[in-house]
Structure 1
């Protein structure tokens, strides 16, 4: 498979170097151990927020480092968790004396390694809280998780928790709002093609040309069903039904609707999906008051998309609207 890379072993380091070169106004980079940190970190008296995970999901997480969102992101190898050492180093780097929140997608390696890093940080007298993101309604357990997977809803948790930290909330309050966002967020995805991990050089699973995978994970994990390709509206209906039933969402709710591309899907197709999702929600009396459309939590070059719905209240809406200045999300300034 053709890829714009040099040596597969250097993909992550070279990509992180590219982030540093492209966004020197926002971030600085440590290479040994490797992590991306907000340029002005640590901020005295502010809760630091650290996230991370396997690479291949860009702009998650490095693209969300900056004012109003993450203080640091720790990239592991492609589709593989970072080890505790860089997580600990990032935690120390952003500690401004008010403690640090770890936002962790629910994959076994990520959970264990962030847990170890939090324990080590505690030995350094850094107070750490952890919020596990598990917004995927597709499956209860998968190849990589015990319980539900953390997928595109991670962006919403990071943004809103980041805004709470930026306004000066203490560690308990920031962790509480992150937990609330996760509890009120549901997601589900679909794959049209498989991703190609650089060191493997071939698709990670076989998906015939006329089939799609409903409920796919962001590493290519199996979903709920493999079916024949359908029109976009029918696919949206399949994704939205379990999302709306799970919380459940109800008439009168205000929501944020997020249509996320998996890396290889044109923006025009994402807007086709968004259009249908907004129609379905309106028919059910659910008001879409905030929106996000684009490639934010990808799976390398996988063709596909996910739909995420977050139930909003006044506080969450205010925090979503708060200024943010990162490589991938910018508004309010």
Structure 2
């Protein structure tokens, strides 16, 4: 065989230390953003049935969760509110004493260095479950914008470090950026859900947040999963309107979009490893069909390899433990 000419790629795979030495993509605890659902109740820690290991937490139990997050080295959390009362315009979203505002103040009082990302949307707060004001069963884009601005300002006043609008209204970044600037919050970045598909992977989240639409669906404002070029237009618009970070949601089935956004734009890219992706892995692992740790690490590494700088994931605490060990 000495007369054959070929490359010996296996030389760099010969041992674990050798593979680690030349590893191209690294997953770090600092890359992770951990979503938390906060209940407007007391003494309640309720596991989400479709999301094993994920809980709705009442405000009085929140700091226990935050302490664990901090001890694990996770530097960012994403807050979703589950209010007691809802109405047609989601007024609890922009209530200065709303559940997200209370949770943010509590976290910043005890852990001022932890980055609090506030989800800025109305769907958790409206009685119809849609992300804006409804007129004749249709979400009114322009009438919804001022309410989103009020929500963002209220969250910033409470101490949120990053505003993350997830509603997919046209012009939502421009409106929120101007609103924040006018209110004196010009240093608060906007982490835009720039590319958010109308995905079947959101079901478990809607259980956790109580945000299932009471009629119709969200396909008139969230993106068609079949579209690729539209994602570039959406991202470009948000950048022009003042976005500081770009989210691609979901992540696992849209890695091609993550890569294209990374290649075309120079803002930080955030991949959202959504609830359905989490629940599928959990269900398979509980049935003994897969190795959960290996699957999760491979999946999240693929998001980094595709170009994500940050990853929003319900696996954040597990991953932080695995990295530490």
TM-score category by the smaller chain?
0.3 to 0.5
Question: What TM-score, normalized by structure 1, do the two folds share?
Answer: 0.36
Larger Rg: 2
Question: What TM-score, normalized by structure 2, do the two folds share?
Answer: 0.36
Q: Which has the higher strand share?
A: 1
